[in-house]
């Protein structure tokens, strides 16, 4: 397997422009004079021009005997702008990412998390001796706290971003973030009592599992531990 060189490190202002889809931003958004990366549409146009120029330059260095016409054909056929999506996905999938350990939870919490609520009576009474009772309550609690903690982490990573930009970033990435985490921990396979008609691989099911676990983490450890875990998970 070929070694993938690390991408040049970019500051938060740049990463926000890169990873927030321009469709999620106002079309008439003014440029920020104190932010040299403002805005993504300008970066995309500049990048397309410079990528083609740099790629052609690299080809000339590799094949100095080739004619301009030959290099142009190679560039148009194998340009990074024309790589198939599958190749790009496989390239990123080949990069190993360290998964931070999930905060350990007691058995009472794990039962609530990994027994699907559909197999639990809907009118089940909360057990006053069990602080994790019940899974639906943990899920609702976790859903609110995950969004709060994730937004908090994003604001810390990109402190100069506006509230609109942070909201766009959170709304467009939080579901995928939870789905990646559940996949990394292989939690979908641990769920018991899931109805056969329910899609175990759906993004909604991943979100339910993650939020329920997050709710239990908050009950056991508090918000700061939950936030730290979510912060660590943003690297996967």
Q: Confirm whether 63 is domain-assigned.
A: yes
Taking the C-alpha atoms of residue 173 and residue 230, their distance in angstroms, rounded to an integer, is: 13
- 112 shares a domain with 77: no
Domains in the chain, number: 2
Q: Which domain holds residue 83?
A: 12-20+36-93
Q: What is the pLDDT of residues 64-81, one digit of tens each?
A: 776 777 667 656 655 555
Last residue of a domain, one of 64, 93, 122: 93
Q: Residue 128: what pLDDT?
A: 85
Taking the C-alpha atoms of residue 157 and residue 11, their distance in angstroms, rounded to an integer, is: 9
Cis-peptide, bond into residue 184, ω within 30° of zero: no
Q: Residue 221: what pLDDT?
A: 97
- 180 shares a domain with 81: no
Residue 8 DSSP class: P
Q: What is the pLDDT of residues 84-109, one digit of tens each?
A: 434 333 333 444 458 899 999 999 99
**Mean of pLDDT values over 196-225:** 96
Q: Residue 83: what pLDDT?
A: 42
Instruction: Give, to the nearest 10 degrees, the angle between helix 223-233 and helix 135-157.
Output: 60
Nearest to 157 by CA among 145, 142, 175, 173: 173
Cis-peptide, bond into residue 174, ω within 30° of zero: no
- 122 shares a domain with 89: no
> Does the pLDDT at position 38 exceed 90?
no
> Does the pLDDT at position 11 exceed 70?
yes
Taking the C-alpha atoms of residue 69 and residue 80, their distance in angstroms, rounded to an integer, is: 18
Q: Residue 95: what pLDDT?
A: 43
- 124 shares a domain with 219: yes
Nearest to 116 by CA among 191, 200, 196, 211: 191
Q: Confirm whether 185 is domain-assigned.
A: yes
Q: What is the pLDDT of residues 196-208, one digit of tens each?
A: 899 999 999 999 9
**Residue 183 sits in a domain of what CATH number?**
1.10.1520.10
- 221 shares a domain with 157: yes
Q: Confirm whether 125 is domain-assigned.
A: yes
Is-contact 178 207, C-beta < 8 A? yes
Last residue of a domain, one of 71, 93, 115: 93
Q: Confirm whether 29 is domain-assigned.
A: no
Q: What is the pLDDT of residues 107-127, one digit of tens each?
A: 999 999 999 988 888 777 888
Q: Confirm whether 171 is domain-assigned.
A: yes
- 150 shares a domain with 47: no
- 222 shares a domain with 144: yes
> Does the pLDDT at position 12 exceed 70?
yes
- 112 shares a domain with 227: yes
Query: pTM (2 decimals)?
Result: 0.66
Q: Mapped to the 3 state alphabet, what secondary structure does 10-44 carry? A: CCHHHHHHHHCCHHHCCCCCCCCCCCCCCCHHHHH
- 75 shares a domain with 139: no
pLDDT band at 17; cut points 50, 70, 90:
confident
Taking the C-alpha atoms of residue 190 and residue 203, their distance in angstroms, rounded to an integer, is: 16
Taking the C-alpha atoms of residue 170 and residue 78, their distance in angstroms, rounded to an integer, is: 34
User: What are the distances in angstroms from CA 135 to CA 106, 114, 124, 141?
Assistant: 14, 9, 11, 10
Q: Confirm whether 183 is domain-assigned.
A: yes
Q: Confirm whether 1 is domain-assigned.
A: no
- 214 shares a domain with 165: yes
Q: Confirm whether 61 is domain-assigned.
A: yes
- 196 shares a domain with 112: yes
Give DSSP secondary structure letters for 38-80: --HHHHHHHHHHHHHHHHHHHHHHH-TTS-HHHHHHHHHHH-G
Q: What is the pLDDT of residues 138-191, one digit of tens each?
A: 999 999 999 999 999 999 888 888 888 889 889 989 999 999 999 999 999 999
Q: Residue 77: what pLDDT?
A: 55
- 178 shares a domain with 202: yes
């Amino acid at each position: 397997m070929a070694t993938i060189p690390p991408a040049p490190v970019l500051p938060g202002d740049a990463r926000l422009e890169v990873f927030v889809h321009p469709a999620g931003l106002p079309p008439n958004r003014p440029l920020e004079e104190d932010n040299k990366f403002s805005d993504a549409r300008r970066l995309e146009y500049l990048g397309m021009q410079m990528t083609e120029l740099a790629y052609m330059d690299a080809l000339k260095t590799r094949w100095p005997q080739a004619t301009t016409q030959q290099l142009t054909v190679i560039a148009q056929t194998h340009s990074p702008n024309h790589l198939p999506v599958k190749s790009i996905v496989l390239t990123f999938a080949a990069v190993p990412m360290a998964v931070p350990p999930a905060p350990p939870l007691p058995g009472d919490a794990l039962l609530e998390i990994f027994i699907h609520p559909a197999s639990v009576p809907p009118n089940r009474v909360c057990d006053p001796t069990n602080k994790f009772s019940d899974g639906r309550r943990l899920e609702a609690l976790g859903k609110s706290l995950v969004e709060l903690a994730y937004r908090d982490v994003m604001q810390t990573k990109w402190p100069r971003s506006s509230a609109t930009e942070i909201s766009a970033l959170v709304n467009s990435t939080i579901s995928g973030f939870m789905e990646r985490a559940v996949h990394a921990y292989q939690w979908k396979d641990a769920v018991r009592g899931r109805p056969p008609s329910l899609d175990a691989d759906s993004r909604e099911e991943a979100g339910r599992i993650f939020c329920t676990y997050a709710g239990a983490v908050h009950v056991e450890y508090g918000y700061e531990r939950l936030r730290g875990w979510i912060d660590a998970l943003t690297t996967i």
